[in-house]
């Protein structure tokens, strides 16, 4: 019997109601459901993640080391990482049970922060790590090295290092390129750099990026959730994580269709 774990943002009453309904639908097909699954519980065959991109990112970050595939169902607004809308589950559930889907592997980043040789912070990220000024008064200085070779000193509002998955998120808003999700790469995107010549840079995923804070009042954030304040001299090491996440794909659509649908590349977004 297939075991399905259910993950959702249980703080929202509407989400709790929908999660109960989905659990009932899945059980009606003879599957075992672990409601409100969390790390440390019995391992399921797959996780159904209900929510917006924030819920999906948090689940991926916590579960990357478990090698459990995720079926993502959108309960948020854009839901760029979601495979299904909530009203589509009935249509695709039979295919899921029969195993008629593909697993799309997404690379993640590993981020470590050290201060005076002592490790202060470690996190993984599916989308990106951002290193930004805390306030609005001044730019920050960041020395950046790639594989121990000096790249540049960034004087900017911040710097984003994203995965291909994250290239359609914060990095894109800052002027970074869209990179196909199956590409093994890291994208460095400066945010409002003092020197206009500092453009986004696409690096091979096997590289190691080291960022040295050359000023205070800097905040590092992984996937918009895990954060730490940086001080002058702190070192941030960013590399490809040994963990990855598999997203279950039930639909036969191309990345270009998703980009057009979610980012409105060829049409205006609907009025709200």
Domain map of the chain by residue range?
A: 3-101+250-263, 108-242
Of 248, 242, 227, 208, nearest to 64 (Cα)? 242
pLDDT at 174: 96
CA dist 191 and 198 (Å) reads: 10
Write b or e for each residue in 17-56: b if 16 or more Cβ atoms lie within 10 A of its Cβ, otherwise e.
ebbeebbeebeeeebebbbebeeeeeebebbbbbbbbebb
pLDDT at 172: 94
For residue 266, how many other CB atoms are within 10 A of its CB? 9
What does the pLDDT average to over 67-75? 94
Tell me the backbone φ, ψ of residue 64, rounded to 5 degrees.
-55, -35
What does the pLDDT average to over 93-119? 95
CB 233 within 8 A of CB 212: yes
Is the pLDDT assigned to residue 224 strictly greater than 80? yes
Q: How confident is the model at residue 263 (pLDDT cuts 50, 70, 90)?
A: low
pLDDT at 267: 60
53 is catalytic: yes
Is the pLDDT assigned to residue 196 strictly greater than 70? yes
What does the pLDDT average to over 236-254? 93
103, β-bridge pairs: 248
What does the pLDDT average to over 171-182? 94
Q: Which 3 state secondary structure label does DSSP give 198? A: coil
CB 76 within 8 A of CB 63: no
Is the pLDDT assigned to residue 270 strictly greater than 90? no
Question: Which CATH topology does 3-101+250-263 take?
Answer: Rossmann fold (3.40.50)
Is the pLDDT assigned to residue 41 strictly greater than 60? yes
Q: How confident is the model at residue 262 (pLDDT cuts 50, 70, 90)?
A: low
Residues in the chain: 272
The pTM assigned to this predicted structure is: 0.91
Tell me which of 41, 53, 204, 234 is the catalytic residue.
53
CA dist 237 and 82 (Å) reads: 29
Query: According to CATH, what is the number of the domain 108-242?
Result: 2.60.200.30
pLDDT at 46: 95
CA angle, corner 50, sides to 262 and 267, nearest 5?
10
CA dist 53 and 100 (Å) reads: 24
């Amino acid at each position: 019997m297939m075991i399905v774990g259910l993950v959702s943002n249980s703080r929202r009453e509407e989400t709790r109601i929908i999660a109960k309904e989905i659990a009932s639908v899945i059980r009606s097909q003879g599957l075992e459901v672990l409601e409100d699954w969390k790390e440390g519980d019995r391992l399921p065959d797959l996780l159904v993640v209900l929510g917006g991109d924030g819920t999906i990112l948090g689940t991926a970050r916590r579960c990357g080391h478990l090698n459990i595939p995720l079926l993502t169902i959108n309960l948020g607004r854009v839901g760029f990482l979601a495979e299904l809308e909530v009203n589509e589950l009935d249509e695709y559930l039979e295919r899921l049970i029969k195993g008629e889907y593909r697993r799309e592997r997404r690379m993640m980043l590993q981020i470590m922060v050290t201060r005076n040789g002592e490790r202060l912070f470690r996190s993984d990220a599916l989308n990106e790590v951002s290193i930004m000024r805390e306030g609005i008064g001044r730019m920050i200085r960041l020395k950046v090295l790639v594989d121990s070779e000096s790249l540049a000193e960034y004087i900017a509002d911040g710097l984003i290092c994203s995965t291909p998955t994250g290239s359609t998120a914060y990095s894109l808003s800052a002027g970074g390129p869209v990179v196909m999700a199956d590409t093994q790469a890291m994208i460095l995107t400066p945010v409002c750099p003092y020197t206009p010549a500092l453009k986004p840079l696409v690096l091979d995923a096997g590289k190691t990026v080291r960022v040295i804070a050359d000023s205070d009042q800097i905040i590092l954030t992984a996937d918009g959730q895990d954060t730490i304040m940086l001080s002058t001299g702190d070192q941030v090491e960013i590399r490809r994580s040994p963990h990855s996440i598999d997203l279950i794909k039930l639909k036969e659509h191309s990345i270009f269709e998703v980009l057009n649908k979610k980012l409105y590349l060829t049409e205006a977004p609907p009025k709200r």
